[in-house]
Amino acid sequence: MTTEVKLICEVSAWVRPAVLALAFMARIGIHLDYGAIVERIVSRGVKVIVERKA
C-alpha cells in the first residue's frame, strides 16, 4: 500500500464518526455550516497524521 492510500484510509477512519455525528445533528434539526466543519475536521486529521509520520 502506498503512503497516499494509507493516509486516505487513516483520514477516512478518523473523519467517518465525525461525519456521522454531523448527519445525526442535521437529522434532529441542528443546522450548522457543515461544509466548513467537515473541511476543518479533514484538514486537522491530515495535519495530525502527517505530524505523526514525521
The pLDDT value recorded for residue 1 is 62
Q: Residue 47's CB: how many other CB atoms inside 10 A? A: 10
Nearest to 19 by CA among 1, 27, 7, 54: 27
The pLDDT value recorded for residue 4 is 76
DSSP 28: T
Q: What is the pLDDT along the chain (54 residues), one digit of tens a residue?
A: 677 777 777 777 777 887 788 788 888 887 777 677 778 877 887 787 778 876
